[in-house]
């Protein structure tokens, strides 16, 4: 049987390089000749293995959109006539693929904003309705494209899943993390390492990005203590200990406050502590 201490030590070793890295290997895609061919051919919309959509900066979106509008004027065509082959020309010299440029262009056209992640309110409402029908994210994306984007391939399953998880889900909890949440997150990391699915299950009301970002922030703070402790796990243990002390101090302040509210009347401190036991 493996020594738990050794497991914890192993989990604490591969730290920031893995946490902060997100490789996006380049890959090629097949470019159909027309938009209808692209929309009707399910295989053309599948990701090539290892391909990840890259995030856009506002400047990149504006540049691509300007190139596309100039292309429309040059070719004397309207937006509805644009094909994926056209976006192959528009995407030349960019880090985004023709497919990504096409999706982003029609997204901007629909939302009227260059800001990333802007969804029309009507689209969010339909997304809420569709999640109740227990459809796959791919099916949801297809319906959104048909109802909102005139059957253009603007949304994909991954985008719909992330939109729901990070913005539309009414059960999302936002705001500062409590000391108790931090303690649980650090203890989970020590026990399981970077098993994100495990962490997401423990914090169902926090978005996936919020869980990852909070862990990164806590680990960075712990690393500042490594110089004196020479061990990441010890630094994590010390942070957990400090946060536990903070929770206890807050509980004592709460008890004292309740005592004052009772105008000096005797209260049962033990019952209060039992109710607030961490």
Task: Note the pLDDT tens digit of each residue in 48-93.
Answer: 334 445 678 888 988 998 999 999 999 999 888 889 999 999 999 9
- The token pair that represents 46 in the structure block: 């599948």
Query: What is residue 181's predicted lDDT score, i.e. its pLDDT?
Result: 93
Whether the CB-CB separation of 177 and 214 falls below 8 Å is answered with yes
List of domains in the chain: 27-117 (no CATH), 119-170 (1.10.10), 179-275 (no CATH)
In this predicted structure, the answer to whether residue 103 has a pLDDT above a threshold of 90 is no
User: 77 or 256: whose pLDDT is higher?
Assistant: 77
- Report the chain's mean pLDDT, rounded to a whole number: 75
Overall average pLDDT of the 91-115 stretch: 84
Please, which pLDDT band fits residue 113 given cuts at 50, 70 and 90? low
Overall average pLDDT of the 254-266 stretch: 54
Please, which pLDDT band fits residue 119 given cuts at 50, 70 and 90? confident
User: 254 or 82: whose pLDDT is higher?
Assistant: 82
Query: What is residue 262's predicted lDDT score, i.e. its pLDDT?
Result: 52
Least confident interval from 28-37, 197-206, 210-219: 28-37
Query: What is residue 228's predicted lDDT score, i.e. its pLDDT?
Result: 58
Query: What is residue 92's predicted lDDT score, i.e. its pLDDT?
Result: 94
Q: Tell me the CA distances in angstroms from 155 to 53, 61, 100, 132, 181, one per residue in order.
A: 12, 16, 10, 19, 34
- Please report, rounded to a whole number, the percentage of residues in the chain having pLDDT higher than 90: 30
């Amino acid at each position: 049987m493996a020594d738990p201490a050794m497991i914890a030590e192993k989990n604490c070793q591969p730290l920031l390089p893995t946490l902060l890295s997100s490789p996006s290997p380049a890959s090629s895609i097949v470019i159909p000749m027309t938009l209808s061919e692209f929309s009707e051919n399910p295989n053309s919309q599948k990701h090539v293995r290892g391909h990840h959509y890259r995030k856009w900066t506002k400047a990149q979106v504006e540049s691509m959109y300007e190139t596309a509008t100039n292309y429309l004027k040059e070719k004397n065509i309207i937006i509805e006539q644009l094909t994926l082959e056209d976006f192959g020309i528009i995407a030349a010299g960019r880090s985004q693929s023709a497919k990504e440029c096409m999706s982003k262009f029609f997204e901007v056209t629909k939302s009227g904003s260059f800001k990333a992640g802007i969804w029309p309110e009507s689209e969010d409402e339909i997304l809420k309705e569709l999640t109740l029908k227990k459809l796959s994210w791919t099916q949801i994306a297809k319906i959104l494209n048909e109802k909102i984007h005139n059957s253009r391939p603007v949304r994909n399953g991954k985008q719909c899943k992330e939109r729901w998880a990070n913005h539309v889900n009414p059960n999302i909890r936002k705001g500062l993390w409590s000391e108790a949440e931090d303690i649980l997150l650090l203890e989970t990391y020590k026990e399981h390492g970077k098993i994100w699915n495990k962490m997401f299950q423990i914090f169902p009301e926090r978005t996936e990005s919020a869980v990852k970002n909070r862990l990164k922030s806590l680990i960075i703070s712990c690393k500042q203590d490594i110089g004196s402790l020479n061990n990441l796990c010890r630094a994590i243990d010390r942070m957990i200990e400090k946060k536990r002390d903070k929770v206890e101090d807050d509980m004592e302040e709460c008890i004292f406050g309740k005592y004052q509210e009772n105008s000096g009347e005797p209260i049962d401190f033990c019952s209060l502590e039992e109710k607030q036991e961490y």
